[in-house]
Structure 1
Amino acid sequence: MESVGDILDEKGSRVLTMRPDATVFEAVEEMCRHRVGALMVCEGNDPVGMFSERDLMVRVILAKRDPATTLVSEVMTHAVVCVSRDTRPAEAMAIITGHRCRHLPVVDKGQVTGVISIGDLVRFFSQNQEYEIQMLRDYVSGRYPA
């Protein structure tokens, strides 16, 4: 059975973090440097929220707040939905669409071990569909192994 953990194993499970007392500008610099759409916000090793592009747009830009003086803790998402490594990709996609979020922290034994994005899930489903289509073509053309 394929799981979110399998996707993380393939893409890498590095968790990018930011302190709650960092400015939004610092967080955006970090997001741009690593080309990601969200950062886990941690106090020490403890996750306290997530800061995403949506938080930036809605809670900073539209609210006309200054990114250089606004703290991440003031605008981050506090109630973050998490999944386990054993979560099926279809279930993770249902959670993302149901909660209207784009990133899900992956928790294993109480620790955040990675973050999976909607892009990761779309890529996973796309690759699986390509494989299934090729298998069906091989079957129809008689090249399918017996």
Structure 2
Amino acid sequence: MQVRDVMTSHVESCTNQDTLQDVANKMQSLNVGAIPVVENGQVVGMVTDRDLAVRGVASGNTSNTVSQVMSNKIVTVNADASLEEASALMSQHQIRRLPVVENGQIVGMLSLGDLAVREQADQSAGSALSQISENQTK
């Protein structure tokens, strides 16, 4: 089974010039905790609810733009990759969400939840989650 078979294909994004308030509002309305930062169709970063809270609000930077709080070392996965490859990337990089790309352009998002909803992927998702959680508790 490939990533494209289980990914979320309708992905909302933001730009690195969006305000933290705009991104927080978008997260709330979409009920998501992470939004990819996209420029010209390419993923250049990721902003999470934790980024907004810790790098934004807690640091007193609420009037800043996404570029000041986003993570810019982004790991992506190709839509044609296997679920095992995606799970291995998530484990290796300690991440719970992967932007999915084709020809460098974002086409979806893959989360541990997406892996878990597929019966065939339960083992991959469980393995990735246990490795991610194990390393975060050390």
Above 0.5 in TM-score? yes
Gaps of 5+ in 1: 131-146
Instruction: Provide the rounded CA distance (Å) in 2 between the counterparts of 1:116 and 1:73.
Output: 23
- Secondary structure of the residue aligned to 1:96 is helix
Instruction: Provide the rounded CA distance (Å) in 1 between the counterparts of 2:121 and 2:28.
Output: 31
Instruction: Provide the rounded CA distance (Å) in 1 between the counterparts of 2:46 and 2:96.
Output: 11
TM-aligned CA distance change 1:23 to 1:110, over 3 Å: same
| 2:112 is the alignment partner of 1:113 | no
Letter in 2 for 1:27: V
- Indicate the RMSD between aligned Cα atoms, in angstroms: 2.0
Shift of 1:51: 0.8
Aligned to 1:93: 87
Count of aligned pairs between the two proteins? 122
Instruction: Provide the rounded CA distance (Å) in 2 between the counterparts of 1:87 and 1:58.
Output: 33
Query: TM-score of the superposition, structure 1-length normalised?
Result: 0.73
Instruction: Provide the rounded CA distance (Å) in 2 between the counterparts of 1:22 and 1:100.
Output: 26
**Kept in 1: contact 2:19–2:66 (CA 8 A):** yes
Kindly report which structure 2 residues correspond to 1:28-67, keeping only aligned pairs within 5 A, or say none. 28-61=24-57, 63-67=58-62
Aligned to 1:72: 66
Identity of aligned residues (%): 35
| 2:14 is the alignment partner of 1:22 | no
Query: TM-score of the superposition, structure 2-length normalised?
Result: 0.77
Shift of 1:44: 4.0
| 2:2 is the alignment partner of 1:3 | yes
